[in-house]
Amino acid sequence: MDLTGASFLYTLAALMITFAGFSALLLGIRQAAGIQPSPLDRYLAKTALTQLFTLAAGALLPPLLSLYGVSETWLWRVSAVVFALPMLSLLLTYPHRRRKAVGKGPPPIVFAVFVVLGSVATLAMLAWILAGLSHQPAVYISAIHQLFHARLCLYQGTRCDHAGTGRQPTR
pLDDT, tens digit, 9 for 90 and up, residues 92-112: 999 999 999 999 998 888 888
Identify the pLDDT of residue 161. 53
Element (H, E) at 154: helix 136-162
| Amino acid in the structure at residue 67 | L
Helix axis angle, 72-102 to 118-130, nearest 10°: 160
HSE of 83, CA atoms in CB hemisphere, 13 A: 34
Q: Is 5 left (phi over 0), alpha (psi -120 to 50) or beta?
A: left
pLDDT band at residue 20 using 50, 70 and 90 as cut-offs = confident
For residues 51 and 151, the answer to whether their CB atoms sit within 8 Å is yes
Identify the pLDDT of residue 157. 54
First to last CA, the chain: 39
> Looking at per-residue confidence, does 53 or 38 come out higher?
53
Residue ranges in 4-135 assigned as alpha helix (H) = 6-32, 39-67, 72-102, 108-110, 118-130
C-alpha distance from residue 32 to each of 20, 26, 39, 110 (Å): 18, 10, 17, 29
Domain limits of the chain? 6-162
Cα separation of 72 and 95, whole Å? 36
Identify the pLDDT of residue 155. 59
Q: Can you give the length of the chain in residues?
A: 171
Cβ neighbors of 105 (< 8 A, separation 6 or more) are 95, 98, 99, 111
- Span 128-132, mean pLDDT? 95
Residue 163 has pLDDT above 70, yes or no: no
Percent of the chain topping pLDDT 90: 50
Residue-averaged pLDDT of the chain = 86
pLDDT, tens only, 51-80 = 899 999 999 999 999 999 999 889 999 999
C-alpha distance from residue 160 to each of 46, 65, 77, 99, 140 (Å): 19, 41, 38, 16, 31
